Amino acid sequence: MLKGKNVVLRPVRESDLPFLVERNAEFEHRGEWYPHHYFSEPTVRKEFEKDGFWSDAHGMLFMTDPESGDVLGEIHYFKTVHYLSELEIAYRTYDPSSRRKGITSESVRILTRYLFESMDVRRIRLCIATDNAASRGVAEKAGYAHEGTQRSAWINNGRVYDMELYAITIGDVLG
């Protein structure tokens, strides 16, 4: 587990799979910015059985309350393209009442440091829809630098979005 002041990042357990499937089926909790595709329980279980949602190419942790252990959201990392020493982080806080409390920014900082310390990666990026001001704030609070705009880069729920590219390098974090 990766522990912070206001959040603990922990691996997904097999016993969490029904909860995860249920959360992913609740489109009203996804908000405008989380992809609107659905993964069935057999698909989720098969992916979990393959590697427990943890490998050099991708990983998923739950963001949990340090006192109660309640699951607040999820945070992922994944390889971008094979020729870059780069990962991307994506995240989602489930309940709107848990948002805007610094949990996601802290989670991004914790996972970023962990990835740099434990993997052969030189940079980590966040791709954020231009209109998603809250997520751009997460990137800035986590120490990521804005690098540019990717025009017409993402389609979600039938709408085309420009994406803001934020990144941080190993030298920014570990010196």
Q: Measuring CA to CA, how many Å separate 102 from each of 97, 106, 153?
A: 12, 6, 27
Three-state DSSP at 141 gives helix
Domain boundaries, the chain: 7-174
Q: What is the pLDDT of residues 119-131, one digit of tens each?
A: 999 999 999 999 9
Q: Which pLDDT score, from 0 to 100, does residue 36 have?
A: 58
Q: Which pLDDT score, from 0 to 100, does residue 93 have?
A: 87
Q: What does the alpha-carbon distance between residue 1 and residue 164 come to, in Å, rounded to a whole number?
A: 30
Closest alpha carbon to 92 in 62, 54, 69: 62
CATH match for 7-174 among 2.40.160.40, 3.40.640.10, 3.40.630.30, 3.20.20.450? 3.40.630.30
Name the band, by pLDDT with cuts 50, 70 and 90, for residue 97: confident
